[in-house]
């Protein structure tokens, strides 16, 4: 399920929406100083307005090229590190006023952050698989809060199911201490909780569209080895996209990421 099929799914996830470097050390917290907000207010993020410039009202007729152009041209703000943390505190706010962690499903206080025993930003598209040293590194659609210790465990493991790359008998369930029971990992493949698998898949589809073959990064998703420089596992991500459709919470996050932080969706 690659090629044209993948392109159609990537387009659909962007429209419907209703629809690290591998953390060798935690990202340092921004230096103390006067509070400066990086929040903006982009007025073109409503779904009908945002996609209204495309050639047709029918999403099935959109081409990959025009969607690539759209997400690149509307990417109006590249956040600095402190802006990424500010955005995550806003976009991934938990009911108790903290931040919602992507893999554990738990919450942590919003501050402090970026330290060994707090939370930091998790890059869904692993840095060593092409995202480091670029706008992709700070793209808010690619960043989620997670406990620093957990980002150190995942590092650059691909998303998928145990036994896909390694033998199934090396699979650890759950993926880490305190993780949900439906998670696992085998040192090369990382299985997140079922309730965020579709969210993660669609974030990676966006990344491949925004920073893919026609960009200088050339990010790529793959199902087959070798996986060096590529993220995956594409066939599994497509299954997750279908099994875990966009929730109201995911739609709202995408909407707010576009309107208040980055300008694209």
**106-157 tens-digit pLDDT:** 999 999 999 999 999 999 999 889 877 678 999 999 999 999 999 999 999 9
Token reading at 77: 């703000």
Q: How confident is the model at residue 244 (pLDDT cuts 50, 70, 90)?
A: very high
| Coil/strand/helix, residue 121 | strand
How far apart CA 12 and CA 55 sit, in angstroms, is 15
| Res 225 pLDDT > 50 | yes
* Residue pLDDT, tens place only, 31-59: 544 479 999 999 999 999 999 989 888 88
Average pLDDT over residues 182-207: 97
Closest Cα partner for 22 from 127, 103, 131? Answer: 127
How far apart CA 22 and CA 236 sit, in angstroms, is 21
Please report, for the chain, how many H helices and E strands are present, in that order. Answer: 9, 7
How far apart CA 257 and CA 93 sit, in angstroms, is 13
Share of the chain above pLDDT 90, in %: 72
How far apart CA 232 and CA 182 sit, in angstroms, is 19
| Coil/strand/helix, residue 197 | helix
Cβ count near 103 (within 10 Å): 26
pLDDT, residue 24, reads: 47
Token reading at 132: 């480091």
Instruction: State the total domains in the chain.
Output: 1
Range name among 18-32, 63-77, 154-168, 221-235 with the lowest pLDDT average = 18-32
Q: Dmax of the chain from CA atoms?
A: 52
| Coil/strand/helix, residue 16 | helix
| Res 23 pLDDT > 90 | no
Strand ranges, E, within 91-176: 99-100, 107-108, 119-123, 143-147, 158-159
Strand ranges, E, within 139-242: 143-147, 158-159, 184-185, 189-191
Is 25 or 46 the better-scoring residue by pLDDT?
46
Please state whether beta strands 143-147 and 184-185 pair in parallel, antiparallel, or not at all (unpaired).
unpaired
3-state helix, strand, coil in the chain (%, to 5): 40, 10, 50
| Res 228 pLDDT > 50 | yes
Where in the sequence is the domain holding 159, given as residue range(s)?
A: 4-29+38-262
Range name among 83-97, 138-152, 226-240 with the lowest pLDDT average = 226-240
pLDDT, residue 154, reads: 97
How far apart CA 121 and CA 151 sit, in angstroms, is 8
pLDDT, residue 91, reads: 98
Range name among 94-98, 135-139, 198-202 with the lowest pLDDT average = 135-139
Phi/psi class of residue 133: alpha, beta or left (left: φ > 0; alpha: ψ in -120 to 50)?
left
* Residue pLDDT, tens place only, 52-79: 989 888 888 999 999 999 999 999 999 9
pLDDT, residue 30, reads: 57
Closest Cα partner for 105 from 196, 240, 197, 200? Answer: 196
What is the rounded average pLDDT for all residues in the chain? 88
Cα distances (Å, whole numbers) of residue 159 to 68, 117, 192: 24, 25, 8
Is 81 or 26 the better-scoring residue by pLDDT?
81
């Amino acid at each position: 399920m690659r090629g044209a099929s993948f392109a159609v799914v990537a387009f659909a996830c962007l429209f419907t929406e209703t629809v690290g470097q591998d953390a060798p050390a935690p990202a340092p917290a921004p230096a103390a100083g006067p509070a400066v907000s990086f929040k903006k207010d982009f007025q073109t993020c409503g779904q009908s307005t945002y996609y209204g410039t495309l050639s047709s009202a029918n999403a099935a007729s959109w081409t990959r090229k025009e969607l690539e152009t759209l997400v690149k041209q509307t990417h109006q703000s590249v956040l600095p590190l402190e802006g990424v943390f500010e955005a995550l505190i806003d976009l991934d706010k938990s009911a108790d006023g903290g931040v919602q962690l992507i893999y554990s499903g738990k919450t942590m206080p919003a501050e402090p952050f970026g330290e060994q025993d707090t939370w930091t930003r998790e890059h869904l598209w692993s840095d060593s698989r092409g995202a480091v040293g670029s706008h992709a590194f700070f793209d808010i659609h690619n960043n989620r809060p997670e406990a620093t210790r957990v980002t150190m465990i995942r590092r650059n493991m691909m998303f998928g199911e145990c036994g896909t790359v390694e033998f199934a008998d090396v699979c650890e369930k759950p993926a880490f201490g305190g993780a949900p029971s439906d998670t696992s990992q085998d040192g090369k493949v990382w299985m997140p909780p079922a309730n965020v698998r579709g969210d993660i898949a669609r974030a990676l589809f966006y990344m491949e569209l925004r920073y893919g073959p026609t960009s200088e990064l050339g990010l790529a998703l793959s199902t087959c080895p070798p996986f060096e420089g590529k993220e995956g596992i594409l066939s599994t991500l497509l299954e997750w996209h279908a099994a875990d459709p966009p929730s109201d919470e995911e739609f709202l996050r995408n909407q707010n990421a576009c309107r208040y932080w980055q300008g694209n969706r």
